Amino acid sequence: MQHKIRSVAVFCGSRSGRNPEYASAAADLGRILARAGVELIFGAGHIGLMGVVADAALAHGGKVAGMIPKHLVDWELAHPGITELIITKTMHERKAAMAERADAFVALPGGFGTCDEFFEILTWRQLHLHQKPIALVNTRGFFTPMLDWVDHMVREGFLKEKHREMIAVADTPESLWHMLENYKTESVNKLDQA
């Protein structure tokens, strides 16, 4: 069954990284989502790649919803120009709000927070809590070492190959969007414990 994408949660860094290609890819993704009429769901920050992807989506007429915990608003990190700002009490509430609202999940380069969000939503999919697509934009091979580690989990018997295959990988935002447009949901079966 074809999976209609109306909103995409983007997990990414509150820093821009050392290479300008990271910010360029984030801007491309924001532009692509806006032009496709897809709402950007993100962590509401105005700094780093979060700010870049949001600014690009807004500049191209996109709708942008940000979820941010109160303590980060107090640090003056909330993006002032987004379409909708949702303030949560905790980081857990923030992630739950993003997960509920998004039709797909995409990670751009980032640090611990990006990894936390990515692996949590991936685990939820493994546990059949959702069937939404999960993808990485592997700009400059940023996620290749992480994917090598995931492959190591499979080789060592800690992860099933079918769960490794839940991670879609694209080199560019353009190829990522093509993958999301053509994503088909699978039927949900009982959790396979074998």
Amino acid at 151: D
Q: Tens digit of pLDDT for each residue in 138-178?
A: 999 999 999 999 999 999 999 999 999 999 999 999 999 99
CA separation for the pair 3, 126 (Å, rounded): 18
- DSSP state letter for 165: T
CA separation for the pair 118, 116 (Å, rounded): 6
Amino acid at 73: V
The pLDDT of residue 1 is: 53
The model's confidence at residue 2, banded by pLDDT at 50, 70 and 90, is low
The pLDDT of residue 187 is: 42
Spatial contact of 34 and 66, defined as CB atoms under 8 Å apart: no
Residue 62 token pair = 């996109």
Q: Tens digit of pLDDT for each residue in 30-45?
A: 999 999 999 999 999 9
The model's confidence at residue 73, banded by pLDDT at 50, 70 and 90, is confident
Alpha carbons within 13 angstroms on the beta-carbon side of residue 37 total: 3
Mean pLDDT of the chain, nearest integer: 92
Give this prediction's pTM: 0.92
The pLDDT of residue 183 is: 82
Say yes or no to pLDDT of 3 above 80: no
Domains (range + CATH), the chain: 7-181 (3.40.50.450)
The pLDDT of residue 93 is: 95
Which sign, positive or negative, has the C-alpha torsion 157, 159, 165, 168?
A: negative
